[in-house]
Structure 1
């Protein structure tokens, strides 16, 4: 299940611009989001496999991924705005203008005292751009997987519901089997003791009447199977629901850590490479296709 459609890195050269603005901002932001679709897909698949293990029926990946859909949908809805803001203007500021709107001497160029939003500047500071993209994705995913958020609650409801359905179905099957076994045993017991004699056929009308009404001496087992187990299932279900919630919380806490693993680094050091989430050569070429 993809988060976004992978955006081609090599598109037609856009209209001439003097800084990364408008179409340039949109295109580069979408290219980064598209590149991250594969690592995020791997994260979701890893989480889905773990969630399957805490549900009795161990649903397949396609089914388990539906339980994670609230996270996937929220990310797809929110990711663009968060990523664009993190890059433009939080670090790259478009044209190289100072607070007074004046372009400092020697700008724009990669070593301009003001970080410009030109394609050349973005390539020059690519290690920073790579870090910004990873950091934004990392913290966005972390927020969506945090207990108490709407996305977390919806995932939890789906997972607990699936686990509870499986457990109730299995328990009901066990209860039915025990009830049937008890009924057979009682029938055999009644047959052996003659308690199934028709009313009035006993030695006295009073005893026969009592037999018909189901009246028995206190030490005689009733013919109605005792099925008290369902009353005991409620606390069992609650306990198992708590176990599922605890297991899910542990899994969800790994979501951003799984992204680190998928990217091959922790993102803390801006120059650590993030080898699986760098795309440096292709991205630099694409960025420089904007004048």
Structure 2
């Protein structure tokens, strides 16, 4: 006799999953493979998601950490997170074919940093030490021109050249609320500091965090589909907890769900980081349907219509 399934409401946050920059980066690898054939090399994971990376690897992409691992006669793609200026310079020196898949919203921060530098300002970057995006942005300017702060507490001890000639920039995938606190600390210590004309935290990060806040009051638990090394996915877990969701968990895919931790719950929120494909969301929904009598509710806080073109070299006929 079939067991009666307990009722459960799944609240799907929207927007969720792929952003325009991730979509463009994946397209760049696929189009490069179509144009030049396999193997096409990619410096660093194109986006922080194992499923995406493994899928592209099966198609002929080879992922490396540094340029010196790439044979000179094969194309190389730079990841969506951006690279220090030295990397394309080295590729040009070696006369390599390279395509830059840096997200245009990250490139915007790079240009901002260069503009401030040209005006004689030193940069304070708000971000996570060692993250590829931070390394790429800091690597746009000469050594010492960008100092990093990770928390509001760091602001008290950061050493700058001239407190009167400063500007701040941020990583694009931070927590909106945490960053506001760090900016306030910077402005309190350095009243003359210049900020970006428009927020550096990207539209997709902001929208995904807002949708988690909207879902949080309805749910007993939150599952964020994303990778351990994905900054924006980890921030979604933190945002969920801060919004009052006692159980918020990051999972790569359905096989990682801790079902025992979910025993007795009646409502679960599901979202996905900007580098997680919708196929993994569907997999999670199916896993719940196998165990519960599921009702799905969509909680939509914004509609995204942003699209970024791929570089011209890949728009030309294959």
Is the structural similarity TM-score above 0.5? no
TM-score normalized with structure 1 length: 0.22
Higher strand share: 2
Higher helix share: 1
Larger Rg, first or second structure (1 or 2)? 1
TM-score normalized with structure 2 length: 0.21
